[in-house]
A and B are shown apart, each in its own frame.
Chain A
C-alpha cells in the first residue's frame, strides 16, 4: 500500500511503526474522502445540469402552450363570429321569406357558434389558470367565501336558498385561484339545487386525518357515484345541457388549482340526494 523509504537500513521501533501506520491510514482516509467529494461534486454538477436542461424544456413547453392559447384566442373566435353574424344577417334581411323551419335552422347554427365560443373561452381560462404562477400567502378562507357568496347572490333572488357557513380556517395558497375554486363549487351547488325548495348549501371545514378539509354540500340533484371518476375531466358532464347549462370546465379548473396547491379534491353524492365536494390543500394547511 505505502512504503516508507529509508536509505540506510534501520530497526523500526514498534511505536515508530504505529506512527507510520497512523499516518498512512490518515492519508488513505483523506484520499478516499477527497475522491468521494469529487464524485459528489461531479454528480451535483451533473444534476444541476439536468435540472437546468429540464427547466429549459419546461419553459419551452410552457411558451409553446402560451403561444398556442394566444393563437386560439385570436384565430378561433373569428370564424364563429362569421357563422353567428351571417346567420343573424340572413334572419334579419330574409327572415320573412323563410319558412319557420328555415329560421329555426339558422338559429341552431347561431347557437352552435355561440356555444363553441363559450367552450373556447372556458378552455382558455382553464389553460390560463394552469400556467399562472402561484402567489402563495395566508388566505382568509372565510372572507373569500363571503365575497363569493355576495357575487353569486343577485341572480338567485327568486329562489329559496339557505346557505350555512361553518368555521373556515385560513390556509396558505393563492387567493385568486382559491377564490375560483369556491366560486365554481358554490355556483355548482346553487345550480344543481335549482329544483329544490328550499335549496340548502353547507360550506365548512372538517379535519380528516389531521388535514383541514374544506367542503361544499348541497341537497340538489347529485349524481351516480359510478361516474364520479369522470367529474373532474375537461368537458366532462354528468347532466344534460338542456337540464343544467355549462361547459364542463368548472370542476376541471377546481381540480387543477387544488392539485397545484398539493391538495386533493373528491366528491360524494347520490342521485337526488345532493352532493358534497371536499378539497384539501396538501401539507400547507394549518389550523
Chain B
C-alpha cells in the first residue's frame, strides 16, 4: 500500500449533470472518500493503466470499483471495459456499467466482455440515488475483492 490513500471509486461520466447527481447520491450514502473522476474513455484508460497524466501511478492503488457510462467521447465505455477485462493487471477490478441505455445489445455486449454489474440509470432521482447508494455499499463494503498485485 502506498502512503497516498487508494482510490475507491473511479467514476467515468461525461454528462456533468449526471456526474453531479452521482456524487450527490454517493455523498448522501457517505461514500465520498477517494473518488476519481474521468470525463471520457481515454482519461479513464490513462488513470486505470497509469499512463499519460497518471504515469507512475501504481495499479494496486485502486480503484476498488469503476462506475462506467457507456456513451462517452473519444473512447466509449465498451472499449474501456474490453481493455480492462482483457488485461491481466486490471481484469479483476469490478466494473459496474451505469448507463441510460436499456438496449439489449449493450447489456449483452457488456456481459460478454465480463462486466460485473449492469445498472440502468432511472429517470427518477430517488431511484437513481438508491441505485448508486446500493451499488456503492455492495462493491465497497460487502464485496470481498481479490488482492491486486502488479
Interface of A is mostly: helix
Query: What's the nearest-Cβ distance from chain B to residue A189, in Å?
Result: 27
Within 8 A of A (CB), among B74-103: 99-103
In the complex, the answer to whether A114 meets B123 with C-beta atoms within 8 Å is: yes
The answer, among A74, A84, A86, for a CB contact under 8 Å with B124, is: A84
Residues of A within 8 A of B99 (CB): 74
Residues of A within 8 A of B101 (CB): 70, 73-74
The answer, among A74, A85, A89, A116, for a CB contact under 8 Å with B100, is: A74
Residues of A within 8 A of B103 (CB): 69-70, 73-74
Minimum CB distance partner of B124 in chain A: A114
Q: How large is the interface on A (under 10, 10 to 19, 20 to 34, 35 or more residues)?
A: 20 to 34
Contact with A along B28-68 (1 / 0, CB 8 A): 00000000000000000000000000000000000000000
Within 8 A of B (CB), among A105-141: 110, 113-114, 116-117, 121, 124
Residues of A within 8 A of B126 (CB): 88
The answer, among B21, B123, B125, for a CB contact under 8 Å with A77, is: B123
Query: What's the nearest-Cβ distance from chain A to residue B47, in Å?
Result: 23
- A16 on the B face (CB < 8 A): no
For the complex, what is the distance from the CA of A116 to the CA of B124, rounded to whole Å? 11
For the complex, what is the distance from the CA of A84 to the CA of B123, rounded to whole Å? 7
The answer, among B17, B71, B102, for a CB contact under 8 Å with A85, is: B17
In the complex, the answer to whether A78 meets B24 with C-beta atoms within 8 Å is: no
In the complex, the answer to whether B123 meets A80 with C-beta atoms within 8 Å is: yes
In the complex, the answer to whether A81 meets B17 with C-beta atoms within 8 Å is: yes
The answer, among A79, A85, A116, for a CB contact under 8 Å with B21, is: A85
For the complex, what is the distance from the CA of A69 to the CA of B21, rounded to whole Å? 25
- A82 on the B face (CB < 8 A): yes
In the complex, the answer to whether B15 meets A78 with C-beta atoms within 8 Å is: yes
In the complex, the answer to whether A84 meets B125 with C-beta atoms within 8 Å is: yes
Determine which residue in B70, B100, B121 has the highest number of CB atoms from chain A within 10 A of its CB, and name it: B100
Contact with B along A233-266 (1 / 0, CB 8 A): 0000000000000000000000000000000000
For the complex, what is the distance from the CA of A85 to the CA of B124, rounded to whole Å? 7
Minimum CB distance partner of B25 in chain A: A85
In the complex, the answer to whether B121 meets A81 with C-beta atoms within 8 Å is: yes
Contact with B along A55-96 (1 / 0, CB 8 A): 000000000000001100111011111101111110000000
Give the B-binding residues of A (Cβ under 8 A). Answer: 69-70, 73-75, 77-82, 84-89, 110, 113-114, 116-117, 121, 124
Q: Identify the 6 closest CB pairs spanning chains A and B, nearest first.
A: A117-B123, A85-B125, A82-B17, A77-B100, A88-B125, A85-B21
